């Protein structure tokens, strides 16, 4: 039986309150239903915007952790956990990072990605155990994701992360949540009540996805995983990405697609290396070396090489 105090506590959460703008939604024709949903969704971006300063701080912490050899680990239950796993799984193909660099953990394990695992979110100890299972260290950053901001599984995980010495962050959609008191950094876009009361896969889930997009994308940009706004570190794993890689190489270097294809092959299908070779005139080994010397940041490698060439010309 539910604890009456717990019921009242749940109802006090912004994400669990009734939305006065949608109380008649079951009476509306479909065009109006989707119109109401769309109108509510428009509030999400502004809620995330209000959190941009703290999101920027979180990005710097994550980027610093990556540079030090640490990892970003998302942990959550239900929709929150699934969104973390989704964002983590997109990083290897987008930025050519190892799967171990950004990890998503969901309460109940992989089965919970497709099926509800009853009670999985109720154990603080399990949250700690799941982090221990990935050999958490003080170099890592743990982001606990929970719309309500009170999920025991996530609280246990953040407490364990603090004990280990890892950096901790909370991502919720309720202000002044319990979870925020268990993390160094708290991100809480308050999107208001859902179209369907308590269905936090709607606005709250959208807000979480937007924040997660920012955390990984901005951190990877800081690491030099893009040149301008192009994915120069993408992993070529299918024909679409092969075509995209040729297009990126052609766009940046100005060569025709046919030449870009040859250049890409010479670079071992490494887009960043191929660009560096073309723009600096270095061979594969030399270009690889200058990229390594500059932390894999293409712009720095190019600028340094060109600066060296100019200095030689003026000597």
Catalytic residue among 90, 124, 184, 259: 90
161 token code pair = 């992360």
The HSE-up count of residue 299 (CA atoms within 13 Å, CB side) is 11
Phi first, then psi, for residue 74 (nearest 5°) are: -90, 140
Distance separating alpha carbons of residues 5 and 260, to the nearest angstrom:
65
138 flagged as catalytic: no
The 10 Å Cβ neighbour count of residue 95 is 22
Gap between the Cα atoms of 180 and 169, Å rounded: 8
Catalytic residue among 49, 121, 138, 259: 121
194 is catalytic: no
- Ramachandran assignment for 43, one of left (phi > 0), alpha (psi -120 to 50 degrees), beta (any other): alpha
CB 42 within 8 A of CB 34: no
- Annotated catalytic residues are 90, 121
């Amino acid at each position: 039986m539910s604890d009456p105090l717990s019921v009242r506590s749940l109802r006090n959460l912004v994400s669990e309150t009734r939305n006065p703008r949608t109380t008649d939604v079951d009476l509306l024709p479909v065009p109006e239903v989707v119109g109401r949903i769309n109108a509510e969704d428009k509030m999400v971006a502004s809620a995330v915007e209000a959190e941009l300063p703290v999101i920027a701080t979180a990005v710097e912490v994550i980027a610093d952790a990556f540079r030090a050899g640490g990892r970003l680990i998302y942990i959550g239950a239900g929709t929150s956990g699934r969104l973390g796993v989704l964002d983590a799984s997109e990083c290897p193909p987008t930025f050519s990072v190892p799967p171990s660099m950004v990890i998503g953990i969901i309460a109940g394990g992989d089965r919970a990605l497709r099926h509800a695992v009853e009670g999985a979110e109720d154990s603080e100890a399990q949250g700690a155990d799941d982090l221990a299972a990935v050999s958490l260290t003080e170099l890592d950053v743990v982001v606990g994701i929970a719309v309500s901001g009170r999920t025991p599984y996530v609280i246990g995980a953040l407490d364990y992360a603090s004990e280990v010495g890892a950096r901790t962050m909370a991502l919720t959609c309720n202000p002044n949540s319990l979870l925020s008191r268990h993390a160094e950094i708290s991100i809480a876009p308050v999107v208001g009540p859902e179209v369907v009361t308590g269905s936090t896969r709607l606005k709250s889930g959208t807000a979480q996805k937007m924040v997660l997009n920012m955390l990984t994308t901005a951190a990877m940009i800081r690491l030099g995983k893009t040149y301008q706004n192009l994915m120069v570190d993408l992993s070529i794993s299918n024909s679409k990405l092969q075509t995209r890689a040729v297009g990126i190489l052609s766009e940046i270097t100005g060569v025709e697609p046919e030449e870009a294809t040859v250049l890409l092959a010479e670079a071992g299908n490494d887009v960043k290396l191929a660009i560096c070779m073309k723009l600096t005139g270095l061979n594969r080994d030399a270009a690889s070396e200058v990229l390594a010397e500059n932390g894999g940041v293409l712009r720095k490698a190019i600028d340094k090489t060109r600066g060296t060439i100019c200095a030689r010309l003026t000597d």
